[in-house]
Amino acid sequence: MNMTRPSQPLCRGCGQSINGYYLSALGAAWHPEHFVCATCHQPINNTQVNVREGKPYHTQCYRDRFDPRCAYCHKPITTQYYTHNGASYHLECYQEHIGPRCQYCHKPILGQYYTHEGAFYHSECYRDHVVPRCAYCGKPLMSEYLVDHWGTKYCKEHQGQYPTCAFCGRLVPPQQQDPQSSEHVRCPICRASAVESLPQARAIFQGLMQQLNAQGLQFNNIPLQIELVDRARLAQLLNGRSGVDALGVTTHSTHMLNGQVVRTEVNGIAVLRGLPSTLFRGVCVHELGHAWLTLQGIRGLPSWAEEGFCESCLSYWKLLRHIAEELADGTTMMQA
């Protein structure tokens, strides 16, 4: 926009001849008082003019009329802004009133974020405080991971990298392994309840016999003996009668007369040393099933029938134990 003084041009605003100074703008001449803003109709006296569709505007009038307005405060937006669901917002309005907030730190979220159970989280808050961590290396499990049947979550790369516990199947990283154990790998949980001493084994064994006696599985008051053995000794006692994964065996002696079986005596029960307490109890109950069949003179059963009977004894014992635990929990709840 220039101020010139040529000879009598016509004013675009009023169509009259111009005598004296005039404005040159938008390809035409104007009386200074006729070059007005299309919005407020006041003269535009400065050198800054905004034009839209051939019409002049004060800068402020142009912003008020054409700049996007914040959907929250309804004021014009003249700087960087956010769009959300088709609406525009000042950066500050979006952060404080519209945008999601982190469920952990409660601060506004801008940029990338995570959702978990319907809540929003900053990437850092999600990684450091929400996402589960590997049970073995402690790293956040941000990508695909594995869960064992105990509910333990861990990185995929650890599968095959660490040995598994011989009894429960959990992975056992180097820092959890027992350097003094050469027979089998045990996790800390199984190792903590392991039955290692004969007095410990006898106490548990006698308690199991009393429980089975109370359910009608009588042992004729015969003082059955429990023995803890290593893997090599267990293999000798099994004498090829079972697989390499057997954890216990019931030994007996058969007395013959003229080629006929006179009687069979139970010598005792041998269980692998170092089993976790729960597994030890289960093996003992199973073997007591074999002992009961022998003491009752029940011989010649096919393997599937004898093993099935012993597993039935074990299942029934587990059921009784489960019921007892539930009753104990119910008593605790009532007392609370």
- Which residues of the chain form CATH 3.40.390? 198-335
* pLDDT of 148: 92
Question: Which residue is it, tokens 């009532």?
Answer: 334
Look at residue 203 in the predicted model and tell me its pLDDT.
95
What confidence score (pLDDT) does residue 15 get? 86
In this prediction, residue 2 carries a pLDDT of 56
What per-residue confidence (pLDDT) applies to 6? Answer: 55
Provide the pLDDT for residue 242: 59
Question: Is 46 within 8 Å of 60 (Cβ atoms)?
Answer: no
* CA dist., res. 147 & res. 171, Å (int): 11
What is the spatial distance between Cα 310 and Cα 239, in angstroms, rounded to a whole number?
A: 20
How far apart (Å, rounded) are the C-alpha atoms in residues 125 and 127? 5
pLDDT of residue 237: 87
Q: What are phi and psi of 67, to 5 degrees?
A: -65, 150
The 10s digit of each residue's pLDDT in 264-320 is 788 889 999 999 999 999 999 999 999 999 888 888 899 899 999 999 999 988 888
CATH 2.10.110.10 residue ranges of the chain are 2-66
**Phi then psi dihedrals of residue 201, to 5 deg:** -65, -45
Q: Where are the alpha helices (DSSP H) in 33-144?
A: 59-66, 91-93, 123-125
Domain 2-66 -> CATH class: mainly beta
Query: Is 107 in contact with 89 (CB distance < 8 Å)?
Result: no
Centre a 10 Å sphere on the Cβ of residue 89 and count the other Cβ atoms it contains.
23
Tokens of 86: 């088709």
In CATH, the number for domain 198-335 is 3.40.390
Q: Which residues of the chain have pLDDT under 70?
A: 1-7, 181-182, 240-244, 256, 261-262, 329-336
